[in-house]
Structure 1
Amino acid sequence: MSAHETGTATGEDDAPDPKGRGPQGLVALPWRMASVLAAVVVAAAGWLIVLAFCSLVWLGDDAGTSYQQVLEVSTQFWLLANGVPASLDGVRVSLVPLGLSAVIVVMVASAVSAIARKAVLSRGATSTGVRSNEDSGALAGSSGAFALRLAAWFAIPYLVILGLCTNLLGHPQSTGPAILGGLLVGGVVSLLSAGRTLHWRATGLSQGGWMSGVLAGVLAAAAALVIVAAVVLGGSLLTHQRDVIGIHQQLAPGGFGGIMLALLQVMWIPNEVLWTMSWLLGAGFTAGAGTLFSPTASHPGQLPAIPMLGALPTGAHSSALGLVWFLAAAVAGALGGAVAVRARRDAVARRLPPGTVGHDSAALLGLVVGLLTAVLVCFAELLAKGGFGEQQLAGLGASMPHLVVLAPCVLGAGAMIGGYLTSVLSHPDMGSDDESAPARPED
């Protein structure tokens, strides 16, 4: 394969310069060294973003805080975005700002994808005699093996940086969360990014089998849930905008302080979207001690003066509209089931000899999609759960005991019905499974 052909296959028009002068200097290095340096650069870039924000707050603060404290707070907040609990003015903060975490994830994915793409291009360059180095043999094995190695070379230094920063700040008890955060952000994200760039999918191990379409269905259901949750949250903010503005004015942060306060709250908007998702599923969420918000009832208790919390209802009540949103979660599951069945049917139709998918298999496939989506939702809700301190704001997030029961029921039932209806509507004359029979042409 020529360098030009390889570049075209990977979406790149030009391979890096053989002398190392490419559009990205980092990826001009051997992939192992580039992975280690990328981990350091991503960690430094994430910390600098937080430092810039904290420095702006410090400049507008008249409390006489030293810049050393600004550096410490910046480091702790960056660690918090990586899943490591922080201690700010003696208050333990465990609520991860998923907005900042998303920025770090994007940086990790971009860096690892660039390194993996460079390795593919280097293999093409080697075939024409332009380059011969360790990259030429990096892809000698399977794409999956190389993706695992690349993820390991990125994740280990990133994990070490998190551990060192945690211990240098005097919090050795948080070493465990630092390791977990490093494995998740530096390991899982880099593995998925490298695998996607190298066109490797774990589901490829069962290509044409039961996994066909499952991933597409889960992603479709999860995306639908996120969209509906974002719409509900946005609508609540618009409906209660007077309360939100009133709380903001009570705090009297001033012009510059108001901007900083708004930016600070933006970092937790993804958490609030996930809490709303738990609300859609009927489990609800808590916004502090003695509070519970669900589609059928609300028990607000005493809420702290945080502008975003002004969007929450102020009285205990039940609403029929809440049941409508509850059904919207089931419809999101049905969409996932429908997507999975259509993808599965396409995969079966490409077999030799071609086959079809029966109604019962379609319903079972939808059920699997719904249950896997529920597992994904529960995991995301765990990431969005945390607190500020040990008292009133100690428990913020989804009501997990209710969620682990309701999410599989709502999404599983919705996806099963969606899969079954998709099969019936597309092939009404089909009965039970007949995957070995010739495929009927779709209308």
Structure 2
Amino acid sequence: MKLRADQTGNRGLPMPLWLQGALETAQAAIISALVVVAPIVAVWATAGFQNGQFEVLARLAGQSWLLVHGVPLGLAGAGPEAATHGGSGTLSLIPLGLTLIPFLLAWRAGRRLARASYTDQLWQALLGSWLVYAAFGAATGFVCRTADVIINLWYALLIPLIPYAVGMVIGARREAGSWSRLIGVDAVDWISRTSQHSRWAGSYFASVAKAGFVAVMSALTLAAALLAIDLFIHWNLVVSVYEALDAGPVGGAALTVAQLGFLPNLVVFALAWTSGAGFAMGAGSQVGPLATAVGPLPSIPVLAAIPSGPLDYALVALVVPVLAGVMAGWWFLREGENHFDEWLAIKIHARWFTASASTLVLAVLAGLGAGVLTAGLAWIARGSAGLGRLTAIGPDPLWTGLWVAAEVGIGVVIGYAAGPWLEREKGSTAERDAELVH
């Protein structure tokens, strides 16, 4: 990172970093608000609201902006009915696809601020930007709360900072090139002063953590593919719900945008389904490959694609996390950082035992990492619609994490054990191709 005069290229005095951070954040807050306001204005323009007063629509836009950032909204009118079903009357189901908008805006702002800062001065820009975003969230919560929609001002002040601060820090790190450079620490010098065993242990655990990440990303990719196939198979049911709603072009477009906002949530739901843990679509319901039992659902087109009834080959879906573990085990083998296996082989001269023990330890650690990450994703993706039975939507984080951890662990053993054979096969293919060329 290096200091620039300012972002416009002027040769005058440089803009104070805290002010530049504040301006970048104000721009991001306004853009994210406009993205939320646009579909509301479009629906209003087609007389889609019973109450089209300006202040009502403005509060609705502010409440939507807070929900996109993860702020739970208390629905006072839903309280008694929700309480009957054990719920809290709180709208907390976050459209993660729309949450990506402030995240990406923060990522861009973080990169710009990192380019304009010395390493030991970046905190000034970050502090200025976070204070402005927190103030924007608190002001929005204060203005948009009503008797029917209860907003905790502390939540409105602090929770929007989470996706924004994470995006900004990741963007600054992308510009800096490393975490150590981002915080002004010479990592190479610090690592050089540690022992060789410490460096090996650090490399091993870092690679295991990356293997767990590879497993989760692979599982999410496969789950997204299964979700796309499911939507394709049930496309006629989805279209039928659209036709029954008869929302018109603008209303249909707004409904589609809202469903796309929940697409990442649905991918996490699909991952929970393939793991065997399943997910809930209302209090007392369960959707999974082992059993499916749901009550009446709201008329939302994408919900028509939920599998129902007995599924003959549903258990085959349980192989998805296992395949993700196979990919992680193979990746770890190619990474070549299994220093625990090397250390164990030096201590115990029985290769059959050390190879088995180190592979099992790898499977447990990588599976644990994948399980913890999956549990976190399940916790973020689940929530409550605040109405009736729909106070429990999404997977159970604990059970989903445990299922994924066990299945990824099994896959890691298979992938790491089969890795040398796969590498030899690839090497033999490359040799045959080279011979054909010559």
TM-score normalized with structure 1 length: 0.76
Identity %: 25
Say whether residues 1:21 and 2:11 are aligned partners. Answer: no
C-alpha displacement of 1:219: 3.1
- From 377, 389, 392, the equivalent of 1:392 is 389
In terms of fraction of residues, the more helix-rich structure is 2
In the other structure, the counterpart of 2:132 is: 157
- Name the amino acid aligned to 1:101: T
- From 34, 44, 56, the equivalent of 2:42 is 56
In the other structure, the counterpart of 1:166 is: 141
C-alpha displacement of 1:362: 4.9
- From 273, 286, 290, the equivalent of 2:280 is 286
User: Contact between 1:150 and 1:191, CA under 8 Å: does it hold in 2?
Assistant: no
User: Contact between 2:281 and 2:393, CA under 8 Å: does it hold in 1?
Assistant: yes
C-alpha displacement of 1:211: 3.2
d(CA) in 1 for partners of 2:167, 2:384: 25
User: Contact between 1:366 and 1:419, CA under 8 Å: does it hold in 2?
Assistant: no
In the other structure, the counterpart of 1:440 is: none
SS of residue in 2 equivalent to 1:55: helix
d(CA) in 2 for partners of 1:53, 1:347: 54
User: Contact between 1:340 and 1:366, CA under 8 Å: does it hold in 2?
Assistant: no
Question: Residues 44-86 of structure 1: CA distance to partner in whole angstroms, max 9, x if unpaired?
Answer: 2111111111111111125341121111111110100110123
Residues 1:342 and 1:212: Cα distance change in structure 2 (over 3 Å): farther
d(CA) in 2 for partners of 1:51, 1:76: 11
d(CA) in 2 for partners of 1:112, 1:367: 36
d(CA) in 1 for partners of 2:249, 2:422: 58
d(CA) in 1 for partners of 2:116, 2:24: 13
In the other structure, the counterpart of 2:428 is: none
- From 214, 234, 240, the equivalent of 1:240 is 234
Paired residues, what number? 378
In the other structure, the counterpart of 1:383 is: 380
- From 68, 82, 85, the equivalent of 1:81 is 68
Comparing 87-96 with 74-83, greater Cα deviation is found at 87-96
Comparing 398-407 with 289-298, greater Cα deviation is found at 398-407
- Name the amino acid aligned to 1:68: E
TM-score normalized with structure 2 length: 0.77
Question: Residues 151-190 of structure 1: CA distance to partner in whole angstroms, max 9, x if unpaired?
Answer: 4443333223222322333377523543552342132332
Say whether residues 1:109 and 2:84 are aligned partners. Answer: no
User: Contact between 1:158 and 1:182, CA under 8 Å: does it hold in 2?
Assistant: yes
In the other structure, the counterpart of 1:67 is: 54
In the other structure, the counterpart of 1:354 is: none
CA RMSD of aligned residues (A): 3.2
C-alpha displacement of 1:318: 4.2
SS of residue in 1 equivalent to 2:205: coil
d(CA) in 1 for partners of 2:261, 2:158: 21
Question: What are the ranges of 5 or more consecutive residues in structure 2 without an aligned counterpart?
Answer: 79-89, 182-186, 192-197, 341-350, 425-438
Say whether residues 1:196 and 2:190 are aligned partners. Answer: no
d(CA) in 1 for partners of 2:125, 2:335: 30
User: Contact between 2:289 and 2:315, CA under 8 Å: does it hold in 1?
Assistant: yes
Q: Equivalent residues in 2 for 1:264-279 (5 A)?
A: 264-279=258-273
User: Contact between 1:333 and 1:415, CA under 8 Å: does it hold in 2?
Assistant: yes
User: Contact between 1:147 and 1:191, CA under 8 Å: does it hold in 2?
Assistant: no
